[in-house]
Chain A
């Protein structure tokens, strides 16, 4: 759906999305990274299990919830990419790991 325009001075960041290694530019959100790497959805819904993708990009719709570094329910549009980050599509309602409660 989306692509990255050429940057003046790109600073590459390496991360994985569903175990696939990708490289994006520093300073972008996880949601932006997901969209330019052709992932058509970020989560499946808790009720009927259908796919949803980023909708508002400003933290108010909660459609882009993903599992980021093992933590579920993270808004991908409010989270910035970091070196070595592990991002996964969130399947339905997910509880926090007990260790993080």
Chain B
């Protein structure tokens, strides 16, 4: 059968590429499917076309992606670019659409490496035009050399803000201020995790260097900011207001780039039927998986930040481990070889993870933000449902995310709940006293990416009259 592969890898980022390169050594029929026009995922986005100067501005950690890209292109793997996966099922059938043509691939083993997305955190004014994710700003920079025109503000909590600010600085972009919304309480709680973090000290040093560079360039870094609001006329941002040092402050700006950390993008694993759990430290849902990347479903593996957030380098190791598990399941290596071959990657991944508990605590998102304290704020951007409406639904007796969805369409819009699922679960948990896990997550169902009826009807063109 032409459409059958022994291994299909979904996602061409750090984990997916590494999995493909690893598995390609074992004489298997392998396909890698990626939604972008070029490999690299989000972290190495545009890595194959980046001009020299821009590469330098983006830094060495970004340029590391080039070695992965080179190794991938040397591997014997069928590469499906610009291809959306709209369905995966337990039988190993993968529904894809490419250039308006839908088809079904089948696979013995599937590695889902769909990576991370930025944590959506609703706050007053976050739907105004001119408010964007910082990661979105970085994607524009990496992939197209597109950068902010005027002086702008970065706000939120997470290492990406420091990194993006420095990258912008290198490109001569003006930054009005960086508003750090991580709290002093966070920092105190993070201290006990510091000794472990020192085992991956290069990350701490990198963070301090970035901070130092920004300060030397005279970019104001305001710490302990809270109560962020985006304000504007005619749905367009013109200023922001926030609290800093017990004072209410206002800045004018036409662009606010926000970032509240990243979470696994789980819409595919959700729709396949993988079990998920809420992780308190990472403040997100994760597909349950074992040390080999195995989910509860036979033949469905997971790798990289789509399984839990450990960063690009750990994703690479994780891709390798999951690939070797697939190779083992396909009978190409034995248990002992699997153990031996994964040992270095496991060790390196463990080393990468050392920094995580510290980072997770230091940049943890405050409860006030997680539960969308302001009743007027839109939580569901698509169906335009406010936090107040969700709370009201809870008070009327709907004590679970899916019930909220049934009662007021929250999460039923075009994004399928990707942007509001976390906030809704947090609101339900806060109002009912349940855990977030008990509050639950929206049930995901295929198609997880848009497909037209026409494309579905043409799935098997040869059978058409």
Report which of B51, B133, B148 forms a contact with A55, defined as CB distance below 8 A: B133
* A51/B236 in contact, CB under 8 A: yes
* B419/A101 in contact, CB under 8 A: no
Determine, out of B135-143, B175-183, B239-247, B426-434, the stretch whose residues face the partner at the interface.
B135-143
* A60/B418 in contact, CB under 8 A: yes
Q: Which of B112-141 contact A (CB under 8 A)?
A: 117-118, 120, 127, 129-133, 135-137, 139-140
* Interfacial chain A residues near B117, Cβ < 8 Å: 56, 58, 60
* A61/B418 in contact, CB under 8 A: yes
Task: Determine the residue in chain A with the shortest Cβ distance to B54.
Answer: A5
Instruction: Tell me the minimal C-beta distance from A89 to chain B in angstroms.
Output: 12
Interface string of A51-75 (1 = CB under 8 A from B): 1111111111111010000000101
Residue of B117, B143, B144 most packed against chain A (CB within 10 A): B144
* Interfacial chain B residues near A59, Cβ < 8 Å: 35, 449
* B133/A56 in contact, CB under 8 A: yes
Contact of B343 with A by CB under 8 A: no
Q: How far is the CA of A1 from the CA of B255 in the complex (A)?
A: 6
* B146/A52 in contact, CB under 8 A: no
Q: Which of A41-99 contact B (CB under 8 A)?
A: 41, 45-48, 50-63, 65, 73, 75, 78, 80, 96
Contact of B185 with A by CB under 8 A: no
Q: How far is the CA of A40 from the CA of B149 in the complex (A)?
A: 13
Task: Determine the residue in chain B with the shortest Cβ distance to A3.
Answer: B149
Determine, out of B1-9, B205-213, B318-326, B377-385, the stretch whose residues face the partner at the interface.
B377-385
Q: How far is the CA of A40 from the CA of B383 in the complex (A)?
A: 21
Q: A45-B382, A54-B136, A75-B450 are in contact. List 9 more A-B contacts (CB 8 A).
A: A1-B130, A3-B148, A35-B146, A47-B384, A50-B127, A51-B129, A57-B136, A57-B139, A96-B452
Contact of B375 with A by CB under 8 A: no
Contact of B368 with A by CB under 8 A: no
Q: Which of A1-19 contact B (CB under 8 A)?
A: 1-9
Residue of A8, A32, A56, A59 most packed against chain B (CB within 10 A): A56
* A80/B37 in contact, CB under 8 A: yes
* A57/B384 in contact, CB under 8 A: no
Contact of B204 with A by CB under 8 A: no
Beyond A8-B52, A53-B130, is A28–B149 a contact (Cβ under 8 Å)? no
* Interfacial chain A residues near B381, Cβ < 8 Å: 52, 55, 61, 63
Report which of A45, A57, A78 forms a contact with B140, defined as CB distance below 8 A: A57
Q: Report which B residues bind A (CB closer than 8 A).
A: 35, 37, 42, 49, 51-54, 82, 117-118, 120, 127, 129-133, 135-137, 139-140, 143-150, 171, 234-236, 254-255, 265, 381-384, 413-415, 418-419, 449-450, 452-454
* B414/A73 in contact, CB under 8 A: yes
Instruction: Tell me the minimal C-beta distance from B424 to chain A in angstroms.
Output: 16
Instruction: Tell me the minimal C-beta distance from A44 to chain B in angstroms.
Output: 9
* Cross-chain pair count, CB within 8 angstroms: 131
Q: How far is the CA of A8 from the CA of B143 in the complex (A)?
A: 14
Q: Report which A residues bind B (CB closer than 8 A).
A: 1-9, 25, 27-29, 32, 35-36, 40-41, 45-48, 50-63, 65, 73, 75, 78, 80, 96, 100-101
* B452/A4 in contact, CB under 8 A: no
Report which of B120, B140, B419 forms a contact with A2, defined as CB distance below 8 A: B140
Instruction: Tell me the minimal C-beta distance from A67 to chain B in angstroms.
Output: 14
Q: How far is the CA of A58 from the CA of B283 in the complex (A)?
A: 21
* A2/B454 in contact, CB under 8 A: no
* B143/A41 in contact, CB under 8 A: no
Beyond A58-B136, A60-B419, A73-B450, is A4–B146 a contact (Cβ under 8 Å)? yes
* Interfacial chain B residues near A29, Cβ < 8 Å: 143-144
> Could you list some 21 contacts between A and B, CB below 8 A?
A2-B147, A2-B255, A27-B143, A32-B144, A35-B140, A40-B236, A41-B236, A50-B235, A51-B234, A54-B136, A55-B132, A56-B135, A57-B135, A57-B139, A58-B117, A60-B265, A62-B413, A62-B414, A80-B82, A100-B452, A101-B452
Q: How far is the CA of A75 from the CA of B82 in the complex (A)?
A: 13
* A61/B415 in contact, CB under 8 A: yes
Beyond A1-B148, A1-B254, A35-B140, is A27–B132 a contact (Cβ under 8 Å)? no
* Interfacial chain B residues near A60, Cβ < 8 Å: 117, 265, 415, 418-419
Q: How far is the CA of A59 from the CA of B120 in the complex (A)?
A: 13
Instruction: Tell me the minimal C-beta distance from A43 to chain B in angstroms.
Output: 10
* Interfacial chain B residues near A63, Cβ < 8 Å: 381
Report which of A7, A53, A62, A78 forms a contact with B415, defined as CB distance below 8 A: A62
* Interfacial chain A residues near B234, Cβ < 8 Å: 51
Instruction: Tell me the minimal C-beta distance from A68 to chain B in angstroms.
Output: 12
* B51/A8 in contact, CB under 8 A: yes
